[in-house]
Amino acid sequence: MKPEIILALDVDSLERAKYFVNKLYPAVKIFKVGSQLFTACGPKVIDILNKKGASVFLDLKFFDIPNTIAHAVRNAIRLKVKMMTLHILGDEEMIKAAVSAARDESKRLKIKKPLLIGVTVLTSKEARSSDVLTLARIGIECGLDGIVCSAREAKFLRQAIKKKFLIVTPGIRPKGAGKNDQRRTATVREAIQSGSNFLVVGRPILEAREPLIKAKEILGDIHGRRN
């Protein structure tokens, strides 16, 4: 599959979220709804994205006892999201409960099962590749569709894990841009060359004077239309 961009809707209000969705869709087709926006607006923002025709990456990083996570996953599926995250550190029992709930609820609703993506180590922190590999293996063996990691570990994981799995890479920054609070950042080209499937971009677009122009520049990088 060709890499895709995900716009991180890390804003504080429904009005601000609508502004960026209306401005960027359909150039950008997938939007990340994380803790910041979800706690401000709740499921309503997901409904707005679905009605627009956009896809939702629900990034709430579920981490709790297996029964609670199973119910959370079922509720997320009813919201019709494309992807969702959970922390692999929650352990194997929690992950398997999430995978089982996703499969059963999707079958019950007769809809396509969303992608379950496991968080390894946040890109705001330093990490050893061996630690990320250990977590990635646990998640994939337990049935996750993919993992979240920086471009720094992506190539290593592709070589070390022979199964098919997706890689979501946050912390994407244009060349020369500041890292902000991210530690393990990468350019679009670095992430793609490392084997990332989904590139999560937030502040470089959200803070740009012309968000759509910046988004199209990044899309051009992804599709090889720029040097």
| Residue 10 is labelled as binding a ligand | yes
Position 2 scores a pLDDT of: 86
| Residue 39 is labelled as binding a ligand | no
The pair of three-digit structure tokens given for residue 2, joined into one six-digit string? 């060709």
Domains, the chain, with CATH or none: 4-222 (3.20.20.70)
The pair of three-digit structure tokens given for residue 133, joined into one six-digit string? 């590999």
Cis peptide before 26 (omega within 30 of 0): yes
Q: How confident is the model at residue 181 (pLDDT cuts 50, 70, 90)?
A: very low
Q: Reply yes or no on whether the pLDDT at 180 is more than 80.
A: no
Q: Which residue is associated with the tokens 């601000």?
A: 16
Query: Quick one: CA dihedral 60, 38, 127, 190, positive or negative?
Result: positive
Kindly report, residue by residue over 112-146, the tens digit of the pLDDT: 999 999 999 876 767 678 899 999 999 999 999 99
CB atoms within 10 A of CB 108: 11
| Residue 68 is labelled as binding a ligand | yes
Rounded to whole angstroms, how far apart are CA atoms 6 and 53?
Answer: 14
| Residue 145 is labelled as binding a ligand | no
Rounded to whole angstroms, how far apart are CA atoms 126 and 146?
Answer: 21
Return the bridge partners of 150, or none: none
| Residue 61 is labelled as binding a ligand | yes
3-state secondary structure 7-65: EECCCCCHHHHHHHHHHHCCCCCEEEEEHHHHHHHCCHHHHHHHHHCCEEEEEEEECCC
Rounded to whole angstroms, how far apart are CA atoms 54 and 142?
Answer: 29
| Residue 62 is labelled as binding a ligand | yes
Q: Reply yes or no on whether the pLDDT at 3 is more than 90.
A: yes
Kindly report, residue by residue over 200-224, the tens digit of the pLDDT: 999 999 999 999 999 999 999 888 7
Position 227 scores a pLDDT of: 40
The whole-model pTM stands at 0.92
Rounded to whole angstroms, how far apart are CA atoms 91 and 64?
Answer: 10
| Catalytic residue set | 59, 61, 64
| Residue 67 is labelled as binding a ligand | yes
Position 123 scores a pLDDT of: 67
